[in-house]
Amino acid sequence: MPSAGRWRPRRDLGRRVGVALALTASLAGAVACSSDEAPPSAPDGTTRPAAAAGPPPKHRAKRGVPTRLVVLQPRVRKGSAYPIGVEITLGRAPSCSIGLPDDTFASQLHARVFTQDGGVWVEDLGSTNGTHLNGGRVTAPTALVQGDRVQVGNTIFEAQ
């Protein structure tokens, strides 16, 4: 396991700007560093921007807009599908569009999924245990794409 503060060389791409280095900042990723020299010029004399060092961003935007939520867990509800309308609410309350009465880790009014500006979004509604998107806690309305996993209490949905 890499330790914080340890330098490791990055692959030299043959540029005159030098070898990029990455400082392992945490288990989640690395902070990239490179020399202060200007990037090389193109044959026509214009300057090209240097390529970013470090891992490429995770691409979520290329996937389509989901039209339904499908339960992955718990097993007793696996495969249940719910169409995404203008707004759906998730929680234990009888008034929720998707009721989770047996999920004791879900709040009464836990989260909502809504459409806006041609996209589908998920928002936590102040739940006790939080709403999670692909393993990370939702702290503000966040866009959903097909394949995303939303966890409300112990219930996991896949956006399809």
What is the per-residue pLDDT for 62?
56
Domains of the chain are: 1-55 (no CATH), 68-159 (2.60.200.20)
Q: Please list the rounded mean pLDDT of every run of 10 residues in the chain (160 residues).
A: 46 38 32 40 44 40 86 97 97 98 98 97 98 98 98 98
Concatenated DSSP letters of 43-66: TTSPBPPPPPPSPPPP--TTSPPP
Alpha carbons 36 and 127: distance in angstroms, whole number? 47
Alpha carbons 61 and 143: distance in angstroms, whole number? 9
Q: Do the Cβ atoms of 43 and 124 come closer than 8 Å?
A: no
> What is this structure's pTM?
0.62
Which SS3 state, helix, strand or coil, does residue 112 take? strand
Phi/psi of residue 98, nearest 5 degrees: -115, 100
